[in-house]
Amino acid sequence: MKHDRMKWIFLIAVLASVLTLGGCKKKVAAPPPPPPPPPAAPTASLSASPDTIEPGQSSTLTWQTQNATDVTLDGAKVDPNGSRTVSPSQSTTFRLSAKGAGGTQEATARVTVTPAPPPPPPQPSATEEEMFNRNIRDIFFDYDKYDIRPDQQASLQADAQWLSQHSSVRFTVEGHCDERGSTEYNLALGDNRANAVKNALVQAGVGADRIRTISYGKEKPFCTESNEQCWQQNRRGHFVYQK
C-alpha cells in the first residue's frame, strides 16, 4: 500500500516537472538574431528549344545566370551563360543550379520525347478497309424483331452495291440487341438479326462465302444508357471488315 502511494507521488512529480519545463521552454525561446544584410541573390534561367522532339532528334538548351560563382547543369560545372545541344532518348528534365554568395537558384527545362508515329500501313488494304468503313452502313432493327425494316432497305441496297463492286472484301455481320431482354434469348435473337442481314445481302447478289455472322446479344453494347435512343443504337446488324 505504502509503496504504491510513493510510486504515485513520484509519478505525479515527474509529470508536473515535465509539463512545467515544457511550458517554460516555449516562453523563454530566444528571439532570432537580426538577419545579416543579404548579398545579391543569384538568378538563373534555362530553356529548351524545341521542347518536344522525336527519338534521334536534338534540342538546344540555353541558360543565363547572374551573381553566381558556381553554375552546374545536371551536376556538371558549366559557364555562367551558355548553350548546349542534347539528344535524349526519353523525356528528360534538365536542372540548372546557380550557387553564389546570396544563395542558390535553380531552373529546370523539360525536353519531351514523343514516340515516332507508326509507319503507315500497307497502302492497298488500308484504303479498302477505310472505304469499307466509310461506305458500309449498319442495319437497325425494331425491338424484339429481326426482319429488315422498310426504312433500312436503302442502307441495305447501298451496302449490297458497294460489296458487289468490291468482290474481294470479306466481312462479319454482328447481331446486337438492347439491354432489356434476357441474356440467352438476346443471343438467339442477335443470331437471327445477323443472319437476316446476311440473307438479304445474298439475295442482292453478295456471295455467302464472303459473309461471317456472329451474335453478341446484349454483351457488347454500343451505348449504355437506358433510353430508347440508346436502345435503338444497340439493336443492329454491325459490319466489321475482315482482314
Check binding of 215 to another protein (CB under 8 A). yes
Binding residue (CB under 8 A) for another protein from 130, 219, 225, 228: 219
- Nearest CB to another protein, comparing residues 94 and 216: 216
- Nearest CB to another protein, comparing residues 86 and 187: 187
Min CB(202)–another protein separation in Å: 11
DSSP state for residue 36 in the 8-state scheme: P
Min CB(198)–another protein separation in Å: 8
Min CB(180)–another protein separation in Å: 8
| Sign of torsion over alpha carbons 77, 80, 83, 88 | positive
- Nearest CB to another protein, comparing residues 92 and 192: 192
Residues contacting residue 109 through CB under 8 Å, at least 6 positions apart: 46, 47, 48, 51, 61, 93, 94, 96
Check binding of 232 to another protein (CB under 8 A). no
Min CB(199)–another protein separation in Å: 8
Strand ordering across the sheet containing 52-53: 52-53, 103-113, 92-100, 70-73, 76-77
Binding residue (CB under 8 A) for another protein from 128, 129, 138, 191: 191
Min CB(182)–another protein separation in Å: 4
- Of residues 130 through 189, those in contact with another protein by CB under 8 A are 144, 146, 181-185, 187-189
- Nearest CB to another protein, comparing residues 48 and 177: 177
Provide the grid cell at 52. Answer: 518536344
Helix axes 153-165, 123-135, angle to 10 degrees: 160
Min CB(5)–another protein separation in Å: 39
With contact defined as beta carbons under 8 Å apart, do 171 and 210 qualify?
yes
| Sign of torsion over alpha carbons 68, 72, 77, 80 | negative
Measure Cα distances from 111 to 130, 161, 242 in Å. Answer: 36, 52, 41
Beta strands at 139-140 and 103-113: parallel, antiparallel or unpaired: unpaired
- Collapsed DSSP state (helix, strand, coil) of residue 60: strand
Specify the stretch interacting with another protein by CB under 8 A; choose among 12-20, 50-58, 160-168, 211-219. 211-219
DSSP state for residue 38 in the 8-state scheme: P
- Nearest CB to another protein, comparing residues 7 and 180: 180
Min CB(107)–another protein separation in Å: 45
- Of residues 83 through 112, those in contact with another protein by CB under 8 A are none
Binding residues vs another protein (CB under 8 A)? 144, 146, 181-185, 187-192, 195, 199, 212, 214-215, 219
